[in-house]
Amino acid sequence: MDEARHGTSESTELRLAIMRLSRLLRLETAATDLSASRYAVLRWVVTSAPISPGRLAELERVTPPSMNRTVNCLVEEGLVTREDDPADGRKVLVRPTDRGIAVVADTQRRRDAWLAGRYATLTDEEQAVLARATEILGKLADA
Amino acid sequence: MDEARHGTSESTELRLAIMRLSRLLRLETAATDLSASRYAVLRWVVTSAPISPGRLAELERVTPPSMNRTVNCLVEEGLVTREDDPADGRKVLVRPTDRGIAVVADTQRRRDAWLAGRYATLTDEEQAVLARATEILGKLADA
DNA sequence: TATTGTTATACTCTATAACTATA
DNA sequence: TATAGTTATAGAGTATAACAATA
pLDDT value at position A30? 64
- pLDDT tens digit string along A66-94? 999 999 999 999 999 999 999 999 999 99
Name the pLDDT band for B6 (thresholds 50, 70, 90).
very low
From CA A133, how far away is CA A117, in angstroms rounded? 19
Beta bridge partners of A95: A81
Q: What local confidence, expressed as pLDDT, does residue A31 receive?
A: 59
Could you tell me what percent of chain B has a pLDDT over 90?
Answer: 66
Report phi then psi at B34, rounded to 5: -70, 140
Which residues on A lie below 8 Å from B133 (Cβ)? Answer: 14, 129-130, 132-133, 136
Partner-chain contact B119 A22, CB within 8 Å: no
pLDDT at B55: 97
Top-confidence residue, B24 or B71: B71
* Residue in B23, B115, B141 nearest the CB of A21: B141
My answer on whether omega of the bond before A50 falls inside 30° of 0, hence cis, is: yes
Segment B26-46 mean pLDDT: 82
Residue B44 CA to residue B117 CA, distance in Å, equals 26
Query: Considering chain A, what percentage of its residues have pLDDT values greater than 90?
Result: 67
Q: Does A47 touch chain B (CB under 8 A)?
A: no
Contact list in B for residue A37 (CB cut-off 8 A) is none
pLDDT (average), residues B13-40? 82
Closest nucleotide to B52's CA, by C1' atom?
A: D4
**Is residue B11 within 8 Å of A1, Cβ to Cβ?**
no
A132 touches strand C (CB under 7 A): no
pTM: 0.82
Q: What are phi and psi of B74, to 5 degrees?
A: -65, -35
* Model confidence pLDDT, tens digit, residues B57-77: 999 989 999 999 999 999 999
**CB contact set of B106 (below 8 Å; sequence gap of 6+):** B32
Q: How far is it, in rounded angstroms, from Cα B11 to Cα A118? A: 9
Of A25 and A49, which is predicted with more confidence?
A: A49
Chain A interface, mutation test: which of B21, B39, B110, most A Cβ atoms within 10 Å? B21
CA B45 to the chain's CA centroid = 12
pLDDT of residue B8: 59
Backbone angles phi, psi at A93, to 5 degrees: -115, 130
> What is the average per-residue pLDDT within A49-55?
97
Q: Does B61 touch chain A (CB under 8 A)?
A: yes
According to the model, what pLDDT value does residue A35 have? 86
**Looking at the predicted structure, is the pLDDT value of residue B4 above 60?**
no
Interchain CB contact of A28 with B (< 8 Å): no
Measure the N-to-C terminal CA separation of chain A; round to a whole number of Å.
Answer: 23
- Mean pLDDT computed over A125-129: 96
Q: What SS3 state is found at A107?
A: helix
Contact A64, A54 (CB under 8 A): yes
- Residue B1 has what pLDDT? 47
Question: Considering all CA atoms of chain A, what is the largest pairwise distance in Å, rounded to the nearest integer?
Answer: 63
Residue partners of B45: CB distance under 8 A and separation at least 6: B51, B56, B74, B80, B94, B95, B96, B100
